[in-house]
Amino acid sequence: MQKRTLGSSGLEVSAIGLGCMRMSFGDKPIGTKQEMVTLIHQAIDRGVTFFDTAEVYGPYTNEELLGEALAPYKDKVVIATKFGFDLYPDARPGWRGFNSRPDRIRQVAEESLKRLKVEALDLFYQHRVDPDVPIEEVAGTVKDLITEGKVKHFGLSEAPVEAIRKAHSIQSVTAIQSEYSMWLRDRENDVLPLCEELGIGFVPYSPLGRGFLTGKINENTEFDSSDIRSHNPRFTKEAIQANQNFVFFLEELAKSKGVTPAQIAIAWLLAQKPWIVPIPGSRRLDRLEENLGASDVQFTKEELQNTAKALSTIPVMGDRY
């Protein structure tokens, strides 16, 4: 597995990380804890060193899973986790409202350290910008945690340009996490240019378009009520049918290169910038291996230009939320 550095921070991670949310939170069926521990170990065996979680996933259970699975490898991996919500574990989905007040950030840091069984959090993201707390105050709190040795790197998730710039002026931002894929490219207009300007890495989640870009979803696919796609505008039967043209294009491109549509989708992200590190989620070894195989797929400059031109002509039906 190739390595990449997130911006100018010096934080080196595997070129493809592993999004772990669905290992203990989200759509069913979810595998047993031991099955997920085994899969995490299999990912490490294949060169993955970057793992993404959050206290809200579960809540808490996903961090606990990673804490157990990664304990023997804590000096060899990078774990990203997040703060930013008030949690209600007995309710569903488990959180209610933003909360990035300094005392809450500190509380989350202390509790995440215990669940992850580490002495310092490698990458600590604000999960979503809190409209009631100035981003400078958030960045200052994380800066203090870094000074105290409890956090190593600061990140922001789904943050707008203005918030990123303000936060970075207080504490260097190592990574921005946001949804980005071949069928959701609006980050190219604002956030990605800013990341390049400021030397910030970019971590795309849902790089496979919540599974749509694998080519394995059609208008007959049924989603469990626990699946976020069951109430996602891009996954109505009408939208799925309309968006099949996107899949047809991916399938043809994949066929021409002798790989799968999923590998094309991830490889395309890798080809955009050397500081982009996608984090596809997986709960099965065959899917994990398929995703990691994308690191071997190369695009020529002409192929990227032709792909960009083609993508600009394919309409996508449905908002992402």
Tens digit of pLDDT for each residue in 237-251? 999 999 999 999 999
Among residues 159, 182, 14, 12, the alpha carbon closest in space to that of 84 is found at 159
pLDDT band at 43 (very low <50, low <70, confident <90, very high): very high
**Does any domain span residue 234?**
no
More confident residue, 93 or 44: 44
pLDDT at residue 228 greater than cutoff 90 = no
Sign of CA dihedral 169, 173, 178, 182: positive
pLDDT value at residue 6 = 98
* The model's pTM: 0.96
Domain range for 277 = 3-210+272-284
pLDDT at residue 92 greater than cutoff 90 = no
Taking residues 135-164, what's their average pLDDT?
Answer: 98
Tens digit of pLDDT for each residue in 122-135? 999 999 999 999 99
How, if at all, do strands 85-87 and 95-98 pair? Answer: antiparallel
pLDDT at residue 27 greater than cutoff 80 = no
The reply to whether omega before 93 is within 30° of 0 (cis) is yes
Least confident segment among 51-55, 159-163, 215-219: 215-219
**Does any domain span residue 70?**
yes
pLDDT value at residue 58 = 87
Of all residues in the chain, the percent with pLDDT exceeding 70 is 98
Taking residues 8-15, what's their average pLDDT?
Answer: 97
57 tagged catalytic: yes
pLDDT at residue 310 greater than cutoff 90 = yes
CA–CA gap between residue 151 and residue 149 (Å, rounded): 6
pLDDT value at residue 225 = 79
Taking residues 176-204, what's their average pLDDT?
Answer: 97
pLDDT value at residue 26 = 76
Taking residues 207-216, what's their average pLDDT?
Answer: 95
Taking residues 279-288, what's their average pLDDT?
Answer: 96
Taking residues 60-65, what's their average pLDDT?
Answer: 95
pLDDT at residue 97 greater than cutoff 80 = yes
Say if residues 77 and 53 touch (Cβ distance below 8 Å). Answer: no
pLDDT value at residue 30 = 81
pLDDT value at residue 91 = 63
**Does any domain span residue 232?**
no
**Does any domain span residue 89?**
yes
Say if residues 214 and 251 touch (Cβ distance below 8 Å). Answer: no
pLDDT band at 4 (very low <50, low <70, confident <90, very high): very high
Say if residues 107 and 55 touch (Cβ distance below 8 Å). Answer: no
pLDDT value at residue 175 = 98
**Does any domain span residue 248?**
no
Least confident segment among 22-26, 51-55, 268-272: 22-26
Taking residues 249-264, what's their average pLDDT?
Answer: 97
| Host H or E run for residue 87 | strand 85-87
Sign of CA dihedral 109, 114, 115, 118: positive
pLDDT at residue 100 greater than cutoff 70 = yes
> Exposure pattern of 116-127 as b/e (b: 16+ CB <10 Å)?
bebebbbbbbbb
Q: Return the CATH number at 134.
A: 3.20.20.100
Say if residues 55 and 81 touch (Cβ distance below 8 Å). Answer: yes
**Does any domain span residue 320?**
no
**Does any domain span residue 113?**
yes
pLDDT band at 121 (very low <50, low <70, confident <90, very high): very high
pLDDT value at residue 93 = 63
Q: CB-side exposure of 317: number of CA atoms within 13 Å?
A: 12
**Does any domain span residue 71?**
yes
pLDDT value at residue 223 = 87
Structural domains in the chain (count): 1
